[in-house]
Amino acid sequence: METMNITISGMHCASCSRLITMDLEDIGVVVKINEQHNTGEIVFDPGKITREKIFDQIRKTGYEARELVS
């Protein structure tokens, strides 16, 4: 399993967070989103899903995201 921290633009409320969470959980990703800071922690199996697929799913939900690199 890998963990990726992201920033999400376009999120305004808890409903936005729930929508993204549900859509990502549908593709097998564990998500913890902080809507106050527009960030999220994504846990996924890189053998089953790619980072690009995760970002594609977020875009399909109507939001933009990018990885936070330390």
pTM for this predicted structure: 0.86
Domain ranges of the chain: 10-67
Instruction: Look at residue 44 in the predicted model and tell me its pLDDT.
Output: 96
What's phi and psi for 45, nearest 5 deg?
-100, 110
Beta strands 39-44 and 30-34 are antiparallel
Tens digits of per-residue pLDDT, 42-59? 999 999 999 999 999 999
In three-state secondary structure terms, 14 is helix
Q: At what angle do helices 51-61 and 14-26 cross, to 10 degrees?
A: 130
From the options 3.30.70.100, 3.40.50.9100, 2.40.50.100, 3.90.850.10, give the CATH code of 10-67.
3.30.70.100
